[in-house]
Structure 1
Amino acid sequence: MDSSTPSILTLPRELRDPHARTTSQNPDWQNQLNLLCDVTNKAPNLATLRVAVGRQYYLNSSTFDDRNVPSILIPGAKRLENANSTPFLPDVPNSLHGMSLIQRGESYHIGYALTCKHIQGIQPLIPTYTIAGCAYSISRGIRKIGVYTFAREGEHHSKRLWTKEEVIARWPMRKYPRQAIQHGSDERAALLARLPLELTEWVERRGEVEVKRWA
């Protein structure tokens, strides 16, 4: 948030940069929206408001081909096509008390999750790697990311827009261990090494008019 009045700058961090870990089916999202509406209503001099939404979920390696990661995710174009019927993340209003939504970006962020040790005596059916003599399967941590910026008309807001690099740095995904990266081809190793450092199937719109054309 940006403001020209000292009173707004004293808002606690959770109000200056709200971060909701929720889903569109979670009733808590309405509470988050109520909070945002209250903030914008009680802060008439507020210039910009940035919001980040994250949804955590995991996909087991038995159904996950890490050599072709994007193929098992919903491509950005498909998500836009089904935006009204199947929201990727919680619905976000186009305005909050006179502040227009001027940036919307959504994507997947993929990294390494916890490993699962195979039961002794059972032959694993999926690729494994070894640490300290024990076989582990590769688990993926996948997070849905949504970033949104609201601004008042006429305000200079270009420096307040979310960047992909900022999102990755702020909520980093765990990097794959060396043993996992070394298992397989050079192409696969390069893919696993870079996945936690980029956003996959990123879709973004900037400007009030373009954001309204999201779907």
Structure 2
Amino acid sequence: MTANHLGRWDPASPNEVRKLLTPVDAPWWIAGGWAIEFAVDEPFRPHGDVDVLLLRRDQLQAQQALSGWEWWAADPPGVLRPWATGEILPPEVHDIWCRPSADAPWRLQFMLDEADGDDWVSRRDPRIRRPIAEIGRVTADGIPYLAPEIQLLYKAKGARPKDEHDFRMAAPKLNPEQRQWLRESMTVAYGTHPWLDRLAA
């Protein structure tokens, strides 16, 4: 999905995200390539945007925290349209772009995931779930980010060149429990995948 006709990207840094989302009284996590970089603990590629994972049930908290911003939701198969104030997005929408104003660059991309009580539920397959308290990590300076094995589960679907690069960097950092969880979850979600053998090695 692209939005070149709607403006350019100037992604907020993870530290900026933390400051912007201070009013949000709900869990959130830096996701995407930044989450992998935090897990690897060294920069290894540029980032064209910044992804923030938010539980679907908390979507309006983010909208309210940045109430003066312009919000756009990605209706499947990826058509951006304005997200109205107070609108509860339908389950098939899980991608939101936002910027301070109509003439400003895009700054944040939110990804909505499901929850069931105290459990996070993967949108790849609802059989894949974990306690919400266990899906994130925190950097030394206090930035929450998505656990690398969960981020790799999502990246495995597309396996774009940057996803493959992220896998090569992150896989050696996974402990045995993380590798096992990722292998089992990928098998549930995708059946077969080239990464499975590499995770078993």
Normalised by the shorter chain, which TM-score bucket?
Answer: under 0.3
Higher helix share goes to which structure? Answer: 2
Larger RCO (CA within 8 A; separation ≥ 6): 1
Q: State which structure, 1 or 2, has the greater radius of gyration over its C-alpha atoms.
A: 1
Higher strand share goes to which structure? Answer: 1
> TM-score, normalising length from structure 1?
0.23
> TM-score, normalising length from structure 2?
0.24
